[in-house]
Structure 1
Amino acid sequence: MARFPITIKGFHKLEQELKHLKYVERLKITTDISTAREFGDLSENAEYKAAKERQLLNDKKIYDLENKLANAEVIEITKINSNSVKFGARVVLLDRDTEKEVVYQIVGEYEADITQNLISIASPIAQALIGKKAGDIIEVITPKGGRFYELLKVQYVDF
């Protein structure tokens, strides 16, 4: 797995998810397996099979999270001093079609959440913004065609 950028907040969120899977979910699943064993014949025990499947899925999630954490390149965005857009930037854009302002923060792919205006560094809009400065006009190609934005502000602050 290649190294990937992530914010400190995103890294801590992955750590918390890993702890939950290891110390809460794993314990619950182990208890469910023990309880299901008490029902008798394991070859026809649906509860046992379901619990074993959940155990397998949980272990896979744990493995995936451990790999993500091992390959994460944590970026402390408040220490970035730049007037151009890079990973971690909070940008204020003016949609040239609607004249409405929109604010996005560029984050890693595992912490992106459009409902919180957190967009992945790999997204088309983030890719169009990289290297740009306040005052620049950018075009983002969408399935409905090109969309133009004016970059009003670039900041490096926690979200």
Structure 2
Amino acid sequence: MAKISYYTEEGLNRLKAELVELKTKGRTAIAHQIAEARDKGDLSENAEYDAAKDAQGLHELKISKLEEVLSNARVLDESTIDTSLVSVLSKVKIKNVKSGAEMLYTLVSEEEADLKAGRISVGSPIGKGLLGKRVGETAEIKVPAGVLEFKVIEIAR
């Protein structure tokens, strides 16, 4: 069964633009590489031709996967989301109980995650651990370095 993923409108538009780019310019570039390699002679001993055909297969696989992601993608209407608990597209201010460090993250789909921009995936250990928590609750999250405790300070949209 296909897994439904929720996106911001901006994130979904970015994926659609990437698909259009792959189908147009990407396919054209690979077709050009194959034609160039074919012009160089005997195809049975032409490594350049083989490499171009392999690149074409990988490119088509990437297009296929992106089409599958888009077919299961939904835009999440932020105005209908309950802000009393952490969910997809929540902006969550958390505090590391042990170190006292505070962080602000937005929980997004895996494809939109960007740690430098403060956007973490709902599929990541921290994202999963925060889902469903309310302000004041503490989440014990198992990460590769051990178990971390985060207290939810604030939830916003």
Note the aligned Cα RMSD (angstroms). Answer: 1.6
Residue 107 (structure 1) aligned with residue 101 (structure 2): no
Q: CA deviation at 1:81?
A: 4.3
SS at match of 2:50: helix
Which residue in 2 is equivalent to 1:39? 40
The AA in structure 2 aligned to 1:21 is: L
The AA in structure 2 aligned to 1:112 is: A
Identity percentage over the alignment?
36
Which residue in 2 is equivalent to 1:68? 69
Cα distance in 1, alignment partners of residues 129 and 20 from structure 2? 36
CA contact under 8 A between 2:108 and 2:119: conserved in structure 1?
yes
Unaligned runs of at least 5 residues, structure 1: none
Q: TM-score, normalization: structure 1? A: 0.89
CA contact under 8 A between 2:34 and 2:52: conserved in structure 1?
yes
Unaligned runs of at least 5 residues, structure 2: none
Q: CA deviation at 1:51?
A: 0.9
SS at match of 1:122: coil
The 1:144–1:37 alpha-carbon spacing in structure 2 relative to 1, beyond 3 Å, is closer
The AA in structure 2 aligned to 1:125 is: I
Q: TM-score, normalization: structure 2? A: 0.90
The AA in structure 2 aligned to 1:128 is: G
Alignment of 1:1-159 (within 5 A): 1-156=2-157
SS at match of 2:85: coil
Moved over 6 A (4+): none
Deviation per CA, 1:63-96: give whole Å up to 9, x if none.
Answer: 1111110111221335534221111101011111
The AA in structure 1 aligned to 2:105 is: Y
